[in-house]
Structure 1
Amino acid sequence: MKLISAIAYTTAAVGSSLILPAVASATDVHCASDNGTDVTVVDGNTACRAAAETSGRARSAGYDGVGYAHAAAGAAALGVGAAGGVGASEGVGGIPIAFGYGPDAVALTTITAAATDSDIGKSQAAIPLFAISIAFEGSRAQVSTADSSVVCLGTAAFAWNSATGTTCLTTPFGRWQTPKSELG
């Protein structure tokens, strides 16, 4: 019951921080890259970069933050940084997503190899490898499929690796992490 209460209070706290009035975003930049292009946009402290190899798709955005995405081998990468945060994703196959919101927030997601039958028990066409990291003000979130790890630090971070099912969550009320599964 304590876990359910902690999750409910955390959801309310994070939700209210997103709804309450804040300083309006003065600068936003967007980058899109497909099939071998590399796009970088810098405007003051706001920036984005999207780089895609021949068969990749990368999208990034900075909303008074820094977004970075790199895609290869059919990956579809997304990185978003907002309000002083950094979101960086890299993928060789699969779908890496990273979202950093708030000053000193850093979210990193890396998929280093395309999913295989042994990784997920089904063909890659049926289930693409998916990983996501989300960090809020002053927190860190990271997913690395190379060593099947997820890391959450600070008071507001979430990370999930679909290949292993490994998840972590940090809130002002504590830290939770699932153990590494047999798949990883």
Structure 2
Amino acid sequence: MGHLAEQAFQSLRIAVLTVSDTRTLATDTSGQTLIELLEADGHALVERAIVTDDIYQIRARLSQWIADPLVQVVILTGGTGFTARDNTPQAVAPLLDKQVEGFGELFRQVSLGEIGTAMMQSRALAGLANATLVCCLPGSPGACRTGWVHLLRPQLDSRTRPCNFVAHLKRLPERAVQACGSRA
């Protein structure tokens, strides 16, 4: 039962992609919220980008990070609703090797207490692609905080028992591990 062995905290390399037709780096409060949360928890931001809510722009940027041996997690924010311009789930789903079936359900369950039945309009999803965890969250700072605190923080912590996603992610080259560091 090696997956239950004591583990030290492992700092993960995370990319943040904001999907929006209107946001800029100066106005991207959702992406900034995710960056602040992941860094406060000891993870490293590899890269941040903003793309328009276009299926092929989303896929192009996400595919680069999935193929990158130094990116272990990608968190997308935005484009998960029901408007004509909300295309994140359709863009991401075909790129996944395996879908994390409970991610959207748990996100909506946690959100019920925060936003009521409006939670039904979230198409949050997650999955694994090339040993990269890909998570899609709604485009609001509150939704990003909810997703990070209740779902991602515990599952991206190698010390979470009985299991977590860290064991399923890319193993970094030794030089990248040294650059990230670790904390106990």
TM-score by length of 1: 0.25
Higher helix proportion (structure 1 or 2): 2
Which structure has the greater CA radius of gyration? 1
Higher strand proportion (structure 1 or 2): 1
